Amino acid sequence: MILEKALTNDQISLANDIHRKMSAWCVSESSLDSLAQRLPGFSPETTLIKAVLVNSLYGTNVWDIVRVAEYVQGILTPEALINADIDLVERMAHVPKGPNEKRPKRRYSFAAKFAHFFISSEQYPLLDTLAEEMVKWHLGRKAMVYNDEQRYVSFVRNFNYLRESIEGLHSLREMDRYLWIAGHYHHWKKNAEVPMYGVLRSYFELNFTK
């Protein structure tokens, strides 16, 4: 597959070098990894703890986290985990409408991050708007697959196209770091005042010209 804008190993390496300078991000990742090891399984209590930490550290903007965690816990049965595939995130994301909501909210960012850290970090890529934007930037609009009813399934397919285009295999987390940092860089080039981590802004200002 020919990409509209090729992605290189050097770009991914640079993004991961920048990531190592961002201590808060590194600690957030290691905290979630540590929790996954120390609290395996998905009892109601364990699922709530995991959901709260993902939501807090990764800013997935779930207000009714107790209700959402209860819903996710009901999805993650032993049978569902044995047969886990990408569609599992779709099911987790489609949380029923809450009592104070006019319509159901699809919690894709939360569901993808929860699955990545607590089910499989090499099966479930992290999804957010920046990741989608950068995958689209590399693949080009015509090569993109998109289905609004299966946003995560579409994203993973596009993500895998991009990942497989690079010589050598990078982990999902290495890819995510690149997509997130590069996404912020593209926004910063358009508007230097766009909100972002202060450390990341300082790095851009010191090392790149607009």
User: Taking a C-beta distance cutoff of 8 angstroms, is the pair 194, 187 a contact?
Assistant: yes
Tell me, what's the pLDDT at 210? 61
Radius of gyration, alpha carbons of the chain: 18
The β-bridge partners of 94 are 106
Tell me, what's the pLDDT at 169? 83
Tell me, what's the pLDDT at 71? 97
CA distance linking residue 190 with residue 86, whole number of Å:
34
Tell me, what's the pLDDT at 102? 85
User: Taking a C-beta distance cutoff of 8 angstroms, is the pair 91, 75 a contact?
Assistant: yes
User: Taking a C-beta distance cutoff of 8 angstroms, is the pair 18, 181 a contact?
Assistant: yes
Q: Give me 144's structure tokens.
A: 């993109």
Note the pTM of the prediction, 2 decimals: 0.93
Tell me, what's the pLDDT at 44? 97
Q: What tens digit of pLDDT does each residue of 11-30 get?
A: 999 999 999 989 999 999 99
Tell me, what's the pLDDT at 1? 62
Q: Give me 208's structure tokens.
A: 């790149």
CA distance linking residue 17 with residue 167, whole number of Å:
19
User: Taking a C-beta distance cutoff of 8 angstroms, is the pair 73, 50 a contact?
Assistant: no
Q: Report the half-sphere exposure of 48 (CA within 13 A, side-chain side).
A: 8
Contacts 24+ apart (CB under 8 A), 106-113: 106/151, 107/60, 107/62, 107/68, 108/151, 108/152, 109/58, 109/60, 109/61, 110/51, 110/54, 110/55, 110/60, 110/61, 110/62, 110/68, 111/72, 111/152, 112/152, 113/54, 113/58, 113/60
Tell me, what's the pLDDT at 149? 85
Q: Which residues of the chain fall short of a pLDDT of 70?
A: 1, 210
